[in-house]
Structure 1
Amino acid sequence: MMEIKEGKDRFVLLNDEGNEAGEMTWSNAGPEIMIIDHTFVDPTYRGQQLAQKLVAAGVDKARKDGKKIIPLCPFAKKEFEEKPEYADVLRK
């Protein structure tokens, strides 16, 4: 079972042994904007919707913190294009 933990400007995906299996990083552009700039999942774990879960964690954080997201990372950008339910946190 994978676990997602929040670190400094990133969410880390940890495998059962507690090793990093992926991450999503962001930078803050002022107090109201998060820029998702990188999403990565180790090739061993691909195909399990884990990158989607990392982006979803970022969306949850933005909602909780009252922020908007600029998805610069190509994967996050695709997620925002495919998921209208993320529109509330997308910086237009």
Structure 2
Amino acid sequence: MSDDDIRIDFEETETRGRYSARVDGIAEAGELTISKVTPSLVIADHTMVPDSLRGRGVAAALAERLIADARARGQRVVPLCPFVRSQALRHPEWSDVIQN
């Protein structure tokens, strides 16, 4: 599955954010949630992908979108979520955005 097959939406409140990922033909969605600490610092809290979406690159696409958005907004990301933390270790090019 390519990233083009995964649609990611972002919704937010003043203190929280949620990325949701959908794939055509599958009712369930994957999600990655964040908490906003300051305008320039967010915490990646949780990533969840239902069984129906596993193995399709959905979680990785969610993490990549988080990083791209953080770069565009000039934010740093604290990877509290184990999945985002593991991806950050695999992607040293994210070091400009990841705050350990």
Q: Which residue, out of 83, 87, 99, partners 1:79?
A: 87
C-alpha distance in structure 2 between counterparts of 1:59 and 1:40, whole Å: 17
Alignment of 1:38-57 (within 5 A): 38-57=46-65
Whether 1:15 and 2:30 are equivalent positions in the alignment is no
Could you list the runs of 5+ residues in structure 2 that have no partner in the other structure? none
Normalising by structure 1, what TM-score?
0.92
Note the C-alpha offset of 1:15.
2.4
Runs ≥4 residues deviating over 4 A: none
Coordinate RMSD, CA, aligned: 1.4
Instruction: Decide whether aligned partners of structure 1 residues 64 and 20 sit closer, same or farther in structure 2, where only a CA change above 3 A counts.
Output: farther
**Shift in Å at residue 18 of structure 1?**
7.6
Distance 1:12 1:80 in 2: 20
Indicate the percent of aligned positions where both proteins have the same amino acid: 34
Q: Which amino acid aligns with 2:53?
A: Y
Q: SS state of the match for residue 86, structure 2? A: helix
Find 1:31's aligned residue among 30, 39, 64.
39
Report the Cα distance in structure 1 between the residues aligned to 2:21 and 2:77, rounded to whole angstroms. Answer: 20
Q: How far apart are the structure 1 equivalents of 2:30 and 2:75?
A: 23
Matching residue within 6, 10, 13 for 2:10: 6
Question: Secondary structure of 1:89's partner?
Answer: coil
Q: Return the offset for 1:19.
A: 3.7
Gaps of at least 5 residues in structure 1 are none
